[in-house]
Every structure is written in C-alpha cells, then in structure tokens.
Chain A
Amino acid sequence: MKLQKKIVLILAVALAVLSITACSGSGSGSETAETSDGAQESTEATEGEDTEEPVELVVAVNGEPRSLDPAFNYEYAAYHVVNHISEALLTFDQTGQLGPGLAESWEAVDATTYVYQIRQGVKFSDGSDLTVEDVIFSLERLRDPALASDVNWMFANVDTIEQTNDWEVTVKLTQPDATWQYVPATPGGQIVSKAYVEEKGESFGKNDGGTLGAGAYKLESWTPGSQIILTRNEYYWNQEDAGAIDKITVNIIPDSSAIQLALESGQADLTISSSKAVSDAFIDSSSINIISTPSIGNFVFSFNTQKAPFDDVNVRKAIAHAIDNVGIRESQYGVYALDTTVLPFGEAGYTPGTAESWIEFAGKLPDYAYNIDKAKEYLAKSGHPDGFTTSLYYKPNPIANSAAQAIAASLKQIGIELELKQLQLSEYYAYAYGGQITDGIRDYDLGLNDWLPDFPDPVGHLLPQYSSTTTGAGGSNFAAYSNPEVDKLIDAQNATTDPEERSKLLKEAFAIAAEDVPYKYLAYPNNTLLLNKKFEYELGTIWIFNFNYKDIKVVG
C-alpha cells in the first residue's frame, strides 16, 4: 500500500509539472507581450513628448491573398492589402465616381481614344521615381495572356498603350467599350515598379518576393498563413491625405467564430462581416460598430435560357412569380440587404444625377413579385402546363443552401420538382463561367449565383450578364441570355460618350430584358463592416475598389 501511494505521488507530481509547464507556456506569452509594451513606453519617454504612439489598425480576414501582385488582386482577401500598396491611375469616390490617382487628369478624346496625364514627382515606397515607363510596363504586363492575370479580360478591346508625350499615355481601343473608362481605377490600373518586378522575377508578389508600389502604405512583412503588416510609405505623393493610421496588421483568421472572438477581445479592430449571424452578434456590443451600406452586387436565380424548358418565356415567368424573394432576403440577410426589382442593382447602383429616373424606371417595369396564382397562370400558358422535374446548382455556402431549399418548396406548389445540386467550388465556377459547355449549350438548368459588377455602372451588369458575347468559355452570362436587340443596344451605348444618351440606351436594353426574365433577383446584399469604436469610417458602395485605410478616422 505504501508503495502504491508513492506511485500515486509520482504521477500526481508528473501531472502537476505538466500543467505548470502548460500554464507557464501561455503565461510567458503574455509576459513577453507586457515587456515589449514596457519597452515601447520607455523608448517613447526618452524620445520626448512630441512623438506620439503610432496608430495601429488590426484587420481580421478569413483568407490569405494568393499574391500581392496587382495581376492577382481580384479577390476579397487581396483587396485588404494590395489596393493600399499599389495605387491605380484613377480612383473611385465613395459613390463610384471617377477621380484622379496616379494620373492627375484624363480625357476620352473619342470612343476609342483615352489620354492620361501621369502625375509628376511620384515615388515608389523605396524612394525610386515612378515613370511613364513603369505605367506602360504595368499595363502591358496585366494584358499579357502569358501572365494570365485576373484582369486580362478588361484589356480585351485594347489595341495599343503608348507614350504620346513626356508625361502622357494614350490608350487606343480596337472598338468602342464603355467599360474601359473605369478600368484604370480598378486593379487593372494599378502600377508597380518595373525594376522591382524584373529583379524579383517569378517570386514577385509572392511571400518570398514582395511587391513595390506607390500607394499610401508599403509592405513591411508577410508571415505566410498568418499575418501581413503594412506601414506608411514615407515617399507617398499625397502627404496631405495620408491618413491617421500608421500601421496596419492584417491577421489571417480562417474560422468565423475566432474572428468574432478576436473582435470582442480587442485583438482585431476591423473585419468585413461574413454573415448576418456574425453581424447580429455585435448589435449590443460596447466596442464594435456595425457599418452596413447598400452595395451594387446581387444574389440571383438564373435560368439557362438556352435549354428547354427554360427557353419558354412563360415557364420563366411562372418560376419567377413562384419564388418568394422577400422571404429569402429576410431569412438569409435580415437588415443587411435590400429587396429587389427586375433590375440587377439596387439604389447603390443608380448613377448619381440620373438616380431619380432609374428608380422611376424600375417602378415602371414588371416586378415578378411572389404570387402563386400568377405563377400557375403562366405555367398553364406555357408548353409545360403539368410541371416537370429539373435541377438547381449552387455554391457550397449556407445562404445558397437555405435559399435553394426555400425555392424547391415554392416550386413544388406549381408542380415543378427541383433536384438540388450543391457543387464543389471549382465545379460551381465551371458551370457559372462557361467551363461546362456541350454543343454550344451550358450544362445546367437553373443556378443560384452572386454577381458583384466590376464597374459601378449599369453596364457592369449588362455586358457580362446579358450580352451574347459572354455566354461562352470564361464568360459570366449565367442565364446564357442572348437577344440581338439587347446586343445592338449594348454596342450603341458603347459607341457614345454622352452620359444621357448612354443612360437612355441602357434603359431600353433593360426594358427588353425585363420582358425576357433571364434572371430573378433575390436580394441586393449590403457591404457590412465591423469596426472598433476607436475608429470611424464611411463605407462606400464599392468597397472592393475604394475602401482606403487612409480614410479611417481615429476617434478622440
């Protein structure tokens, strides 16, 4: 018995030692943090009173950027970093209007000629000069198919990019393209240092090569899989508008509940909310503000208009009437989305100045509101009065999944059986972006998609989603919709640079499309930002391109 007691004692000691090492493990972490804080305070004290503590903003993102190269800056994870390092030729203001950037002025000489005056005296964050050569190199690089950049398609109608004067660059198009005016304000217009890209070669933009731009911030460090740190670019050309934030720490936190806890505990100051549940968790928070503004994107139900029975407009109208879009918006987005019309965009997408008329215009169009009686009526008129069985594909995400269930239940009421196909992401991309086409016809019946236009202009919806040119491989016409009249109007609006005329032509095109119902819009989701109350920010409609850390204000 005595011996057994000894064993118990030994084991107890072993356990105690283990738990102590465990505690001291986590304890030492907080200790080092304290000492480093202490060290910071003491250096500040010695430096004197006029040096303020640097303002740090900690951002939580759920994914890591693939690269810091503007060529691959076309995903949410990258916008948090790359847009602030490499500034573009032009900028968008909070309402989506174009403004100057690295080009101090620009002009559309005619429908195919755009002239940019490059700002003089701009330096990259290493102190080297930004030249016209860098500008042309950056743009040519983005449109080189060998690099296969994300924005390559934006350059589809570009003929030449040439230096036409000391600080002047002229872009000539092969045919009129109304979207080109916006390209220089997107990642498609972001400028990098030619010397740096050539020096780094393959590793440029990767975590072992880094990047060099002329934005308000520069890359300080990148720890793969966990953290990216940006600090002020001391050579930034626009010192008056360099902002209050000195250091931005972007922490990669894959788990959404861990992001929520990081915000609650003050380990993170800012995140783009991933869902209604995450936003709602902060309604009564004492430390976090929910900033939610309308966006130009949509959540949409698409018919494959090439394929029977959806080539029958009455079938499309019947289904459109059978879907309860308001119910879906309410249950999936709550207050973080707006209800839809037959147009692909909500109030944020309306061009300022003509806003009133777009809203009026939307009111005049049929809205295909939820109405089972009307749905039955249209189905009776169609070639399939007794219903049929079909399938719906969608992304592996909870919102799409719940919406799909709701739609299947609704369609059952009018005799349509829906087979639900939740796809893997890459299969989804293949369906939605023309990767699965047999004999010229897209391989699906119905789909649930998201669309965030690349440009804050109705044409950012019309061209990629309603034009017959975007039904093929790599195209994003989810409904495979093609109507020669709409195509003609798209061409016509491209050819004119007069805004009123363009707006008239666009409306004609949307009016025709509204009668054809290739899409049923389910919601216009908001942009929702969660921000610590230490900071203030006014979120714009197209945050992906105009969200700027330098515009974040420090409270108090």
Chain B
Amino acid sequence: MEKTKRQRSDSFQARIRNTSARYPRLILKRLLVFFPLLFAASLVIFFSLRLSGVDPVNVMLGERQATEDVIFSLREQFHLNEPLIAQYWQWVKEVFSGSFGIDYINRQSVAVMIGQRAPITLGLVIMSTTIGTVIAVGLGVLSAVKQNTILDRVISVAVLIFVSAPSFLVAIGTLIFLTVFMPDVAFTGAINSVGDYFSRLIMPSFILALYMLAIVTRVTRSGMIIQLRSAYATAAIAKGLPMRVVIWKHCFRNAFIPVLTIVTIFIGAAISSAVLVESVFSLPGLGGLLTQAIKTNNYPIVQACLFILLLLFLSLGLIADLIYMAVDPRARIAGKKVLT
C-alpha cells in the first residue's frame, strides 16, 4: 500500500518536472484546434453579414444619383455579380494576401485603414487594462486584508459607483471639466509625437479602466480572503513570516489565477467599450472605424475587424491557458490529460 502511494507521488513529481519538455507539444495541439475554429468563424462572419440583404452598391453610392453604367461597373469591380461562394473565396484570398480587400466607401485597402487606426486602440486597451488591474488588485488585496472594516466598505461602495457610471457620460463630464478648468489641454486634432500620444490617451484610459475596477476588485478580494483564511497562511503567519511575504508571495500567487481569467476577458470588453470613449475624445481608433462601418453596412471593414478581433480573442484565450500552465503546475497536467 505504502509503496504504491509513494510511487504515485514520485510519478506526480516526475510529470511536473517533465512538463517543460512537453510544453511545445501542448502548444502545437492548441494550435491544431485554433485554425479550424478560425476557418469556421470566417464562414459565419462572411455569410451572416450578407443575410441582411443590403445591396453593397447602395452602400457605395450613398445619397447620390447614379447612372446604370456606374452601377454595372461597381458590381463588376467588387465581384458583386458573382455567386456568394465565389465572393467568399475572393475574400479568403484577400485575407491571405494581407490586404483584406477594398472597402465600399473610401475605396481603400482595408488593411491600410486598420493599420492606421490600430495604434490608438491598442494603446487604449493596454493602458486601461494595466491601470485597471494595478488599481483593482491593490484595492482588492487591501479590502481583503482589512476585511469588514470601514475601509473595506468604502472601497466596495466607491468601486460600485465607478462601474455604474456609463463610460461615455464620464468621458463627456471629463471633457467639460477640461474645457472649464484646463482649456490648454487639447482633446482634438492630430497626434504628432509620443508626448501627444500619451497625453491624449491617458484620460480615456483611466475612464476605461474604471469599468473593470468593480469586478476585478471583487474577485481579488474574495480570492484573497479564502487564501488568507487557509491553513497554510495561518501556518506561515504562525511561524513568523512577515505579513508582506504572506500576502504577496504566498496568498496572492494563489488568488491571482481567477483574476487573470477576468482580466483577459476585460481586454476584450475594453476593445468594445473603447468605441464610445474614442468618439468623445476624437481619437482615430478602430472602434470608430468599426461602428461607422456597421452603421453604413461597409462589409469589407466589418468582416476584417470582426475577423481580427476574433483572432485576438482566440489568441488571448490561448495565451491565458499558457500562463495558467506556467503559473499553476496542476493546469499543466490537466492540460495534458485533456489534450492527449
């Protein structure tokens, strides 16, 4: 009996030791699921957009008169006279060539338009999630440590207020505050330098960050409370470890995993809530491009944006899984079991 138990524990240790070698194989297996998923999604995106029945020629012509010759020429140029399946194949080719096609309204390469606007949205998302995570984790740990004190309650209420205020309202409010009290702070115009970039993005990033505060703070708090109450934490405190070490080195590491999951979800949410904030702060980002394209049925842009967003979500999921494996040895074994 004793021997088998020991053997089992040996093999457990060995498996953990060996996981670094299996890592590449795990990644490979994840990727094998990744690509078929992407292909299926591309089909759904392309054909569901066409369900609306809007004729792209009307999108191109807009509120203008046109002759039959022009209508015919546009149909030909954009392959609209071909069957849908051929149009889909055309799009797949364009995706692989990296151009993502020509948009209906500006008649410009979609990849170029997305490339011009990506830095703004990327900056907003990275800055807001970083700011949001740092503040929320700090507040969460603090309220867990100070559990059920006045400070804890103040934090809960404050955080609730932040999340309840719609971000566009906060954005307009901020803008009004700026025009009244700091008229020199520019909120319109072009971004010409790195300094401009940060000064224009910091406010909207803060506003976006508010949105994720409530949930991330809550998750951190509850996770930390469980960890702080656990036997190992009591043991660590009892043996005289400094509280700082108990909190950050032992408890927080274990409480961080669910926080990580939530944060990756919020990166996705930040992209969508960036839309309103971008528009209020006159930032030329992807959000504005996408909403405008949806409003005008500009399919080439909509499908490219959706495809890229999907790619991003799937990649984020993949990255999150890989981080779990790095942080939590159990996930490595579980991952292996699931995948083999």
- Using a CB-CB cutoff of 8 Å, which residues 126-147 of chain B contact chain A? 131, 134-135, 138-139, 141-142, 145-146
Q: Is B108 an interface residue (CB 8 A)?
A: yes
| Chain B residue nearest to A2 in the complex (CB) | B243
The CA-CA distance from A15 to B142 in the complex, in Å, is 12
Q: Is B206 an interface residue (CB 8 A)?
A: yes
| Chain B residue nearest to A66 in the complex (CB) | B106
Which of B67, B116, B247 lies at the interface centre, i.e. has the most chain A CB atoms within 10 A of its CB? B67
Please choose the segment from B10-18, B189-197, B324-332 that sits at the chain A interface, where 4 or more of its residues have CB less than 8 A away: B189-197
- Pairwise interchain contact B54-A265, C-beta atoms closer than 8 A: no
Contact of B145 among A4, A25, A75, A255 (CB under 8 A): A4
- Pairwise interchain contact B189-A227, C-beta atoms closer than 8 A: yes
Give min CB distance, A212 to chain B, whole Å: 19
- Pairwise interchain contact B188-A430, C-beta atoms closer than 8 A: no
| Chain B residue nearest to A209 in the complex (CB) | B108
Contact of B65 among A249, A266, A474 (CB under 8 A): A474
Q: Is A208 an interface residue (CB 8 A)?
A: yes
The CA-CA distance from A70 to B70 in the complex, in Å, is 16
- Pairwise interchain contact B284-A32, C-beta atoms closer than 8 A: no
| Chain B residue nearest to A22 in the complex (CB) | B202
Which of A32, A66, A254 lies at the interface centre, i.e. has the most chain B CB atoms within 10 A of its CB? A254
Query: How many residues on chain A are close to B (CB under 8 Å)?
Result: 74
Contact of B73 among A60, A148, A426 (CB under 8 A): A148
Contact of B199 among A28, A251, A470, A474 (CB under 8 A): A28
Please choose the segment from B27-35, B83-91, B210-218, B274-282 that sits at the chain A interface, where 4 or more of its residues have CB less than 8 A away: B274-282
| Chain B residue nearest to A144 in the complex (CB) | B73
Give min CB distance, A151 to chain B, whole Å: 8
The CA-CA distance from A531 to B109 in the complex, in Å, is 36
The CA-CA distance from A148 to B117 in the complex, in Å, is 27
Contact of B182 among A4, A30, A226 (CB under 8 A): A30
The CA-CA distance from A405 to B78 in the complex, in Å, is 39
Q: Which residues of A contact B62 (CB under 8 A)?
A: 75, 425, 429
Contact with B along A14-34 (1 / 0, CB 8 A): 110010011001111110111
Contact with B along A134-145 (1 / 0, CB 8 A): 000000000001
Contact of A255 among B116, B186, B191, B280 (CB under 8 A): B280
- Pairwise interchain contact B282-A226, C-beta atoms closer than 8 A: yes
Contact of B188 among A11, A72, A262 (CB under 8 A): A262
- Using a CB-CB cutoff of 8 Å, which residues 123-150 of chain A contact chain B? 145-146, 148-150
Q: Is A38 an interface residue (CB 8 A)?
A: no
The CA-CA distance from A162 to B68 in the complex, in Å, is 25
Q: Is A252 an interface residue (CB 8 A)?
A: yes
- Pairwise interchain contact A8-B142, C-beta atoms closer than 8 A: yes
The CA-CA distance from A171 to B338 in the complex, in Å, is 76
Q: Is A152 an interface residue (CB 8 A)?
A: yes
- Using a CB-CB cutoff of 8 Å, which residues 212-227 of chain A contact chain B? 221, 223-227
Q: Which residues of A contact B289 (CB under 8 A)?
A: 225
The CA-CA distance from A135 to B176 in the complex, in Å, is 49
Which of B71, B117, B178 lies at the interface centre, i.e. has the most chain A CB atoms within 10 A of its CB? B71
Q: Is A535 an interface residue (CB 8 A)?
A: no
Q: Is A153 an interface residue (CB 8 A)?
A: yes
- Pairwise interchain contact A14-B185, C-beta atoms closer than 8 A: no
- Pairwise interchain contact B297-A426, C-beta atoms closer than 8 A: yes
A148-B70, A153-B66 given; A26·B189 CB < 8 A: no
Contact of A264 among B55, B72, B179, B296 (CB under 8 A): B179
The CA-CA distance from A397 to B64 in the complex, in Å, is 18
Contact with B along A470-510 (1 / 0, CB 8 A): 10011110000000000000000000000000000000000
Contact of A433 among B63, B145, B182 (CB under 8 A): B63
Q: Which residues of A contact B116 (CB under 8 A)?
A: 207, 224-225
The CA-CA distance from A34 to B199 in the complex, in Å, is 14
- Pairwise interchain contact A254-B279, C-beta atoms closer than 8 A: yes
Q: Which residues of B contact A32 (CB under 8 A)?
A: 193, 195-196
Q: Is A74 an interface residue (CB 8 A)?
A: yes
Q: Is A234 an interface residue (CB 8 A)?
A: no
- Pairwise interchain contact A476-B65, C-beta atoms closer than 8 A: yes
- Pairwise interchain contact B135-A18, C-beta atoms closer than 8 A: yes
Which of A27, A149, A427 lies at the interface centre, i.e. has the most chain B CB atoms within 10 A of its CB? A427
- Pairwise interchain contact B199-A433, C-beta atoms closer than 8 A: no
The CA-CA distance from A221 to B191 in the complex, in Å, is 12
A26-B199, A223-B190 given; A7·B142 CB < 8 A: yes
The CA-CA distance from A310 to B187 in the complex, in Å, is 51
Q: Which residues of A contact B202 (CB under 8 A)?
A: 21-22, 25-26
Contact of A148 among B55, B77, B190 (CB under 8 A): B77
Q: Is B6 an interface residue (CB 8 A)?
A: no
Q: Is A67 an interface residue (CB 8 A)?
A: yes
A7-B142, A15-B135, A435-B58 given; A152·B67 CB < 8 A: yes
- Pairwise interchain contact A29-B196, C-beta atoms closer than 8 A: yes
- Pairwise interchain contact A261-B186, C-beta atoms closer than 8 A: no
How many inter-chain contacts with C-beta < 8 Å in the A-B complex? 213
- Pairwise interchain contact B190-A226, C-beta atoms closer than 8 A: yes
- Pairwise interchain contact B198-A152, C-beta atoms closer than 8 A: no
Q: Is B242 an interface residue (CB 8 A)?
A: yes
- Pairwise interchain contact B105-A66, C-beta atoms closer than 8 A: yes
Q: Is B61 an interface residue (CB 8 A)?
A: yes
- Pairwise interchain contact B179-A474, C-beta atoms closer than 8 A: no
Q: Is A258 an interface residue (CB 8 A)?
A: yes
Q: Is A206 an interface residue (CB 8 A)?
A: yes
| Chain B residue nearest to A396 in the complex (CB) | B295
The CA-CA distance from A527 to B183 in the complex, in Å, is 29
Q: Is A464 an interface residue (CB 8 A)?
A: yes
Q: Which residues of B contact A529 (CB under 8 A)?
A: none
Q: Which residues of B contact A396 (CB under 8 A)?
A: 295
The CA-CA distance from A7 to B142 in the complex, in Å, is 8
- Pairwise interchain contact B175-A224, C-beta atoms closer than 8 A: no
- Pairwise interchain contact B183-A266, C-beta atoms closer than 8 A: yes
- Using a CB-CB cutoff of 8 Å, which residues 9-68 of chain B contact chain A? 54-55, 57-68
- Pairwise interchain contact B282-A251, C-beta atoms closer than 8 A: yes
Q: Which residues of A contact B138 (CB under 8 A)?
A: 11, 14-15
Q: Which residues of A contact B145 (CB under 8 A)?
A: 4, 7
The CA-CA distance from A225 to B108 in the complex, in Å, is 14
The CA-CA distance from A424 to B64 in the complex, in Å, is 16
- Pairwise interchain contact B284-A224, C-beta atoms closer than 8 A: yes
- Pairwise interchain contact A426-B187, C-beta atoms closer than 8 A: no
- Pairwise interchain contact B296-A426, C-beta atoms closer than 8 A: yes
Contact of A265 among B77, B108, B183, B203 (CB under 8 A): B183
Q: Is A6 an interface residue (CB 8 A)?
A: yes
The CA-CA distance from A539 to B243 in the complex, in Å, is 72
- Using a CB-CB cutoff of 8 Å, which residues 237-282 of chain A contact chain B? 249, 251-255, 257-258, 261-262, 264-268
Contact of A152 among B69, B139, B182 (CB under 8 A): B69
Q: Is B184 an interface residue (CB 8 A)?
A: yes
Q: Is B314 an interface residue (CB 8 A)?
A: no
Q: Is A39 an interface residue (CB 8 A)?
A: no
* 7 pairs of A and B residues whose beta carbons are closest in the complex: A225-B284, A29-B199, A3-B243, A227-B190, A474-B66, A25-B202, A145-B69
Can you list 12 A-B pairs, Cβ within 8 angstroms, ordered by A? A7-B142, A26-B203, A29-B185, A30-B199, A148-B77, A153-B64, A226-B283, A253-B282, A258-B282, A265-B183, A424-B54, A426-B55
Instruction: Beyond A223-B191, A433-B65, list 13 extra A-B contacts (CB 8 Å).
Output: A8-B142, A26-B182, A28-B195, A72-B107, A145-B70, A152-B67, A153-B70, A221-B190, A223-B190, A258-B175, A258-B282, A424-B297, A430-B55
Q: Which residues of B are in contact with A by a Cβ distance under 8 Å? A: 54-55, 57-74, 77, 105-108, 112-113, 116-117, 131, 134-135, 138-139, 141-142, 145-146, 172, 175-176, 178-179, 182-193, 195-196, 198-200, 202-203, 206, 242-244, 247, 279-285, 288-289, 295-297
